[in-house]
Amino acid sequence: MEYNSKFDFYLKFKPIYNKEGYFIDYIMTYASDSFSNAVGISPSMVLGKRFSEIVVDMDVFGFKEFYSTIIPNSKIKYELYMERQDRWYLVNIFTDSDNYENELIIYYVDITDLKLKQQFNGRNNVFYLKDKSDLLYRDKLTGLYNKNFFEEEMIRLDTRRQLPISLIMGDINGLKLINDAFGHSMGDKALKKSAEIMSKSFRDEDIISRVGGDEFVILLPMTTEETAFKIVERIKRKCENNPLEYIKINISFGVATKTSLDEDINKVLKKAEDRMYFNKLTESKEAKLSMIEFLRNRLEKITYETKSHYDRLKQLTMMMAEAMNLSENEKEELDLLCEFHDIGKIGVPKDILQKQGRLNKEEWEDVKRHSEIGYYIAREIKGASTIDELILTHHERWDGKGYPGLLKNDEIPLVARIFAIADAYDMMVNDRPFQTRMTKNAALREIQSQSGKQFDPDITEIFIDLMAEEQIV
């Protein structure tokens, strides 16, 4: 198929289904002859790759914009600015109904010239090239300058008159944890908050740009390295003192300065980047630990999961562990599960956690997500990553009616089955807001009534026998 622009191209994808016949992904089977010229890479780099692989490894086609909505028989049409190519495209996605394999076709029609002829009016995202403050040079999410603008300004300002020129590279620590645990909308808020803090920390003539997913670079003309370091420390203090809801923003920085005209500014930028990554090696771990501690402290304030609750759980679970001759590894898992089982509740709205009375269906779905959120958080905690799946499954039921509803009976890990009984008992016999505590005997009768339903019947019997012998209330 021929197009008016040499930058037009199209792609074909074949759908992939699992054994049960459910669609799971697409695989690229064809790229048009104009592909290499338009995109600047060889078709061999992407042919045979899955749609999801391309999104993660090298999203040069803007697939992330529609990845979550693309399924067989999709019909999507929208405009897309592709930063790598510095061009605008009209993207048309549809299924070839005449093809027995149900192929997906994605056409990219170059509309850059059309865009550049239209004047920016603030309403329909149309712009003209002469004004560098327009959308062509702005990051859509944060409003900061983008990589294109930064690179042009770095060349323009690389003169004797601007010396010394300092460059600051920044990278947000823990953004993957934020995205995985709390969703990409919270990740976007973290990026916007970071941009806001940095925008208030620099001069108007400084160039603040977002150049990657979680990476920023700042160009400071006529600025010494000493001054740049002072600015970095100021930003770090602002991040510490201005948390985003229940998350603390933490950014690793690297600074380098060009002081003489014969220095290559690209090498100075590389030095700033190297220093940033070196700092990130230590700061990223500290940032995650700090974030987890911040989350735990906040969780105690908005829920009723106190340290005394954890201590009682450890006493109950260790009692069962000894009786059942669990290994030292299983005991350690139980210990960690007592401590971190409800860390995911930090991602549940406070008004739901503290609501009096029965939750509605939508609110209950929010609460049930806490085991999934906790799973992602635990994966990032040094020492607790071994129990991520236990956190995910600690609300599963023996009869399969628990959540997230993945397991039942002895498919549920033994440690999680032991913990479930201890957790239920402790909540019943201790004071909690909006709930009257039970006596020990009443709680044990309730545990017995759920044998073979909520709880493993064999472990239930062991627990009840032990509680009859022990002086634990």
pLDDT tens track for 168-188: 999 998 888 788 777 788 899
Check residues 356 and 269 and name the one with the higher pLDDT: 269
Widest distance between CA atoms in the chain:
85
Determine contact, residues 9/39, Cβ cutoff 8 Å: yes
Residue ranges, CATH 1.10.3210.10, the chain? 303-469
Spatial separation of the C-alpha atoms in residues 68 and 94, rounded to whole Å? 15
- Looking at residue 347, its pLDDT comes to 82
The proportion of the chain whose per-residue pLDDT surpasses 70, expressed as a percent, equals 86
Task: Provide the whole-model pTM.
Answer: 0.59
Peptide bond into 413 cis (omega under 30): no
- Looking at residue 398, its pLDDT comes to 96
Check residues 113 and 376 and name the one with the higher pLDDT: 376
CA 57-61-64 angle, 5° bins:
65
Residue ranges, CATH 3.30.70.270, the chain? 138-296
Compute and round to an integer the Cα radius of gyration of the chain. 28
Which CATH number is correct for 303-469, 1.20.120.850, 1.10.3210.10, 3.40.50.300, 1.10.150.120?
1.10.3210.10
Query: How many Cα neighbours within 13 Å face the side chain of 367?
Result: 15
Q: Which range among 118-127, 354-363, 367-376, 405-414 shows the weakest confidence by mean pLDDT?
A: 118-127
H helices of 221-327, in order, are: 225-241, 265-302, 307-323
pLDDT at residue 203 greater than cutoff 80:
yes
Residue ranges, CATH 3.30.450.20, the chain? 9-117
Bridge-based pairing of strands 165-172 and 9-17 is unpaired
- Mean pLDDT confidence for 288-316: 78
- Mean pLDDT confidence for 189-204: 93
- Looking at residue 169, its pLDDT comes to 97
- Mean pLDDT confidence for 196-203: 93
pLDDT at residue 234 greater than cutoff 90:
yes
pLDDT band at 232 (very low <50, low <70, confident <90, very high): very high
Which residues contact residue 34 at a Cβ distance below 8 angstroms, ignoring those fewer than 6 apart? 3, 6, 7, 8, 9
- Mean pLDDT confidence for 221-242: 94
Superfamily in which the 138-296 domain is placed by CATH: Reverse transcriptase/Diguanylate cyclase domain (3.30.70.270)
CATH code: domain 9-117 is 3.30.450.20
Query: DSSP string of 391-429?
Result: HHHTT--TTS-SSS----GGGS-HHHHHHHHHHHHHHHH
